[in-house]
Structure 1
Amino acid sequence: MSARDRFGRPPPGEAPRRPPPQGGFRFVALDVETACGPVSSICQIGLACVREDGGIESWSTFVDPGADVAFANTWLHGIGRAHVAGAPLFPAALDLLAPLLGRQPLIQHSGFDSRAVAAACALAGREPPAWLWLDSVRIARAAWPEFKGNGGHGLGHLKRALSLDFHHHDAEEDARAAALVVLKAEARLGLPFTEIAPPPAARRRLAANQG
């Protein structure tokens, strides 16, 4: 196999196609990369599925954002047309992942990923799925308030501050990083992630699910 790029990816055409993870998980972290300015232009979806024992099963797929989209963000994430050639369009990727992602809470690092999914659904003429989203930025702020004004709570700073090992701006790697942030926050605070800074709407849904 040829050398991997700076994001840890094999060259286009050499990455094996894998089915998404199966089974029950405590939570799934989700990250997307986009091809250009509109947040609907999803070109990669990455997952990090966290088991009860803390083990992480990660997965990703490229997504074809549409033939009319210019890859203005390639300099950031390294994804170009060769990577998405033959990849599913967003509706097909959504159908593939919906059975998994509707079963447990989803973690995103900031609100970008849920906005991107909603925008891609709107572009495809579909209602966004009613997934339960939680935010690892909010969780990190609760666990490490000292980072406010001192590097912040973005993945770039958390990578250094928490000694995380991942390739930033690859969706699978960023999803795994968000999952690790949550696990480290749980260990630091001695609380499950569902009790660390959930927004009111998520708190109500979590309470209903436990009832």
Structure 2
Amino acid sequence: MTTPIPDGDFRFIALDVETSCADSASICQIGLACVGTLGSIQSYTTLVDPQLPFAPFNVELHGIGADTVCGAPTFTQIWPQLLPLLTRHPLVQHSRFDEKAIAAACKMHGLASPRLQWSNSVTIARKAWPELKGSGGHGLANLKEVLGLVFKHHDAGEDARAAALVTLQAEQKMGRSFAEITGHRHGFQLSFQF
């Protein structure tokens, strides 16, 4: 269920969340894929009690329900544990949903919203594989097929790992580093907006 939070320095961290309902603050799972200097990936996944209802559509999509998160930490409990790691690294999300969900959950729980350094693996994929536009697009489902990725879609840990793999393959395809593709540098300062 919950794995230890990775420790150390990484080139970037891919982050994905699943939500319990249409409210983007309803995070019920967080997954991280921490990419090391040689492309190794350390994964982390935790269930989260969203303290909001579960909609049947969401439960059918990811298989997480109220019974699944019984005893899981709330966002208020887990977020401060993740912040030291996340604020030290550039983050990758596939689309902007995850960034919006984190901001909404922080707001709902009265937590300061950190200024995290986000990149979008959809944008990265568009640069690396422009030919996919109109041919299935740059969503994870199509990239899974085109790039031969193996992962379980709509599991936060698996989707985070997939976003990391898309980014790593894009680096290889373009012959450029993550920092060159995104303009993000390692070691930025922590700052908060209220």
Cα deviation code 1:115-169 (max 9, x no counterpart)? 0000000101122111100110000000000000000000000000000000000
The count of residues paired between Structure 1 and Structure 2 equals 187
Structure 2 SS opposite 1:160: helix
TM-score (norm 1): 0.85
**Within the alignment, does 1:161 sit opposite 2:146 as a pair?**
yes
| Structure with greater contact order relative to length (CA < 8 Å, sep ≥ 6) | 2
Letter in 1 for 2:92: I
Tell whether 2:3 aligns with 1:25: no
Corresponding residue to 2:53 among 36, 49, 69? 69
The answer to whether structure 1 residue 59 and structure 2 residue 44 are counterparts is yes
Verify: 1:143 aligned to 2:128, yes or no.
yes
Q: Which residue of 2 aligns with 1:99?
A: 84
> Is 1:185 paired with 2:175?
no
Counterpart code for 1:181: V
CA RMSD of aligned residues (A): 1.5
Q: 2:114 aligns with which of 129, 143, 152?
A: 129
| Sequence identity (%) | 55
Which runs of 5 or more structure 1 residues have no equivalent in the other structure? 1-14
Aligned to 1:12: none
Distance (Å, rounded) in 2 between the aligned partners of 1:173 and 1:92: 23
**Which segments of structure 1 move beyond 3 Å, counting only runs of 4 or more?**
205-209
Q: Give the C-alpha shift of residue 62 in structure 1.
A: 0.3
- 1:170-209 → structure 2 map (5 Å cutoff): 170-196=155-181, 198=182, 203=183, 206=185, 209=188
Show the counterpart of 2:33.
Answer: 48
